[in-house]
Amino acid sequence: MIIGVPKESFPGEQRVALVPAVLPSLAKAGCEVLMEAGAGEAALYPDAAYVEKGVRIVASRHELFASADAVFQVLAPGANDRTGRTDLLLLKRDQVLIGFLRPLGSPETVQEIAATGATAFAIELMPRITRAQSMDALSSMATVAGYKAVLHAANILPRMFPMLMTAAGTVTPARVLIVGAGVAGLQAIATARRLGAVVSAYDIRPATKEEVRSLGARFVELPLEAADAEGRGGYAKAQDESFYRRQRELLARVVAESDVVITTAMVPGRQAPVLITAEMVASMKPGSVIVDLAAERGGNCELTRAYETIVGHGVTIIGEVNLAGSVPHHASQMYARNIAAFYLYLVKSGALELNLDDEITRDTLVTRGGEVVHPRVREALKLPPLGVSALAEEPLRGTDAKKGEGASDAV
Ligand code: NAD
């Protein structure tokens, strides 16, 4: 099998889908790797480091797509809504494509990928099960984003994070509030603690209480009980507007006392709930910072503007959406391990073997044989469910693709 790694083409994207360290495991499985020249450069992986591990560098993207059995990308068409379209012209029948595809946000692009005949996997649909942990790129990127969110805030805040007792007097520590203690939130807590801040956190899932406390943060107890807070795969369930209104009222005091608020609250398949109103922003001290990691999904703060950093009521509100991409070296390293583990999981004895009885394959597979095969993407496109007979015509193992439900549409 020949794996092709094109250079990421989304403007400003610095990550790369494979790094030299994972190449031996792919070679051992009989895979040859082709890479577009300079694909790893922005993440500080020079071509020479790949060549040393047996990679063939090609100058032309056309040649790369033409020769590859499988194409690995970070932002594939769909997630790359700027330049991804040009790659659609290069995809070919039965070629495997793996990357972030934003399948539920851009279902029309998935339909266009299907039209090329390619077999595409959306890595963000990886189920949140123990077996799939090594392939969970969404969690890897959330980890990096949580870390970087704190650094951004610390950089902008006109105060220091740690408490200092110096000859020039005592400096009080910054107060940091994390709303949403999932993967990104927990990493944000750990990072803010390492910098010496006093950290509080809140999540509607009661299971997070212990995790928050074990990282040395205070769990904010709100007299508010979410009905059925946790759904499939450990994700939060959406609540009604009266719940969110009450949550805002109860969070108001904690927000006003915080120097930094980092929000990560999300519910799969929905717009992010608004948990911080303009009025709450106005109650914060001037110079405070909000980093809204839910910006791309509408934002947890009413004033957030996705992709932008703004100042409202004297508070800086960061709505950057690709924080993981701003740490390209390690984000690429983690992504490469995830995508390589996933591909090696799909390949048996040197050939791709698709077992639709397996949750990992079924949940991530979005196109095959010219069709959009993922039930939720079909639903988003208003296409009728794919009949069992249609699937049976495909040379796949298993016929219960209809059961497949992606874990998340977060990217
Ligand atoms: P996410 O990014 O979708 O959501 C972030 C957090 O926001 C979640 O913790 C959620 O409970 C919280 N939230 C939602 N609405 C909220 C509200 N109104 N107020 C406050 N918080 C709110 O999710 P995530 O961070 O990727 O992870 C979610 C869960 O999945 C966690 O339990 C995590 O441990 C689990 N997970 C499991 C695996 C695995 O087992 N393989 C892998 C990754 C994540």
Beta strands in 49-110 (DSSP E): 56-58, 70-75, 96-100
Pocket residue to mutate for ligand 1, from 104, 124, 126, 128, most atoms within 8 A of Cβ: 128
Pocket residue to mutate for ligand 1, from 178, 205, 323, most atoms within 8 A of Cβ: 205
Give the rounded distance of the alpha carbon of 356 from its chain centre.
24
| Fold of domain 139-326 | Rossmann fold (3.40.50)
- Exposure class string for 178-190: b at 16+ Cβ within 10 A, else e: bbbbbbbbbbbbb
Domains 2-125+349-403 and 139-326 share a fold: yes
Q: What are the catalytic residues? A: 128, 133, 136, 139, 235
Domain ranges of the chain: 2-125+349-403, 139-326
Q: Is the dihedral of CA 262, 137, 120, 329 positive or negative?
A: positive
| Fold of domain 2-125+349-403 | Rossmann fold (3.40.50)
Whether residue 129 has its Cβ less than 6 Å from ligand 1? yes
Q: How much distance in Å is there from the Cα of 230 to the middle of ligand 1?
A: 9
Taken as a whole, the chain contains a residue count of 411
**Do 218 and 193 touch, CB atoms closer than 8 A?**
no
pLDDT in tens, the chain (411 residues): 999 999 999 999 999 999 999 999 999 999 999 999 999 999 999 999 999 999 999 999 999 999 999 999 999 999 999 999 999 999 999 999 999 999 999 999 999 999 999 999 999 999 999 999 999 999 999 999 999 999 999 999 999 999 999 999 999 999 999 999 999 999 999 999 999 999 999 999 999 999 999 999 999 998 887 777 777 767 788 888 889 999 999 999 999 999 999 999 998 878 999 999 999 999 999 999 999 999 999 999 999 999 999 999 999 999 999 999 999 999 999 999 999 999 999 998 888 999 999 999 999 999 999 999 999 999 999 999 987 545 544 444 333 333 333 334 444
CA separation for the pair 367, 106 (Å, rounded): 14
Q: How much distance in Å is there from the Cα of 124 to the middle of ligand 1?
A: 14
Q: CB-based contacts of 317: which residues, under 8 Å, 6+ apart?
A: 281, 289, 290, 292, 301, 303, 304, 305, 309, 310, 311
Angle 256-236-207 from CA coordinates, rounded to 5°:
80
Rounded alpha-carbon distances, angstroms, from residue 132 to 29, 67, 71, 182, 233 = 19, 29, 21, 17, 12
Q: How much distance in Å is there from the Cα of 37 to the middle of ligand 1?
A: 38
Closest ligand 1 atom, CA of 211?
34
The position carrying tokens 């995809």 is 91
